[in-house]
Amino acid sequence: MSGYYVALGDSMSIDDYAGGPGRGAASLLFRNRDTDFPGWQGRDLAGIGFEARLLARDGATTIDVLDRQLPAVDRPPTLVTISMGGNDLLAAYGDTDAARAAVARVGAQGEGVLTRLRAAAGGNCRIVLSTVYDPSDGTGVVPGSGLPPWPDGPAMLHLLNTTLAGLAERHGAALADVHDRFLGHGVTVGDPSRSDPRPSERELWYCGTVEPNAWGASGIREAWWRALADLPDLPR
């Protein structure tokens, strides 16, 4: 099997907070780091002949994916992962009315992303859209982050993830439930605001409050891999 993998989106997909080049979620999906994750040896896209272009960027919002990243896709991809919406919601942190408006914009702009991507890539391209995680583990509080408690935060995140799930369903994309995979890996096991990209507590999957550390990056990779379970010829 061969193909062309493109990663679109925000810092959920990138290397920067996971310890450097090759350690982020998209990088691990493409080429596993066998020394860090021996259980994933032989399960990556490079091993079955894929090429990759990793276009996700730190701080990207949904409009960035639409207006900046999609135009950089240079040929029809076989597989695309997308992580978007988290920064849109974070910009409205603490303001529930603004958060609802941000989610509505994600829905409208996300329609543009999925429509243009499907038109450019064709019906055979496998698209994986990710839900957004919650470092508060559903509490609305992340002590040590410098952010005030936001009791409505988990509900707004649920609204965002419901919107993303609707986009996936309407456009024939697979949904990777990153939110569900990350539950119990935030405040309930440690301090998500720590800056260590590779903490000794491998159950803590965050650094800098809202970024995936090395272990979190692998968790995202796993959620994507599960969403691709019905793709022929993937190594199990």
Pick 170 or 230 by higher pLDDT: 170
Whether residue 219 contacts residue 182, with contact meaning beta carbons closer than 8 Å, is answered with yes
pLDDT, tens digit, for every residue of 42-87? 999 999 999 999 999 999 999 999 999 999 999 999 999 999 999 9
Pick 105 or 236 by higher pLDDT: 105
Which architecture does CATH list for 3-227?
3-Layer(aba) Sandwich (3.40)
| Banded model confidence at residue 231, pLDDT cuts 50, 70, 90 | low
DSSP-assigned beta bridge partners for residue 4? 51
pLDDT, tens digit, for every residue of 125-160? 999 999 999 999 999 999 989 999 999 999 999 999
User: Which residues make Cβ contacts (< 8 Å) with residue 224, sequence separation at least 6?
Assistant: 25, 29, 81, 128, 130, 176
Q: What integer pLDDT is reported at residue 172 of this predicted model?
A: 94
The alpha-helical segments, DSSP class H, found in the chain are 25-30, 62-64, 86-90, 96-121, 153-170, 178-182, 214-227
Give CA–CA dist 159/130, Å, rounded.
14
Kindly state the average pLDDT of the residues 79-101: 98
Looking at the chain, the whole-number percentage of residues with pLDDT higher than 90 is 94
pLDDT, tens digit, for every residue of 22-35? 999 999 999 999 99
Kindly state the average pLDDT of the residues 89-94: 97
pLDDT, tens digit, for every residue of 161-195? 999 999 999 999 999 999 999 999 999 999 999 99
Q: Is the pLDDT of residue 236 over 60?
A: no
Kindly state the average pLDDT of the residues 90-106: 98
Q: Is the pLDDT of residue 232 over 70?
A: no
Q: What integer pLDDT is reported at residue 2 of this predicted model?
A: 81
Q: Is the pLDDT of residue 102 over 90?
A: yes
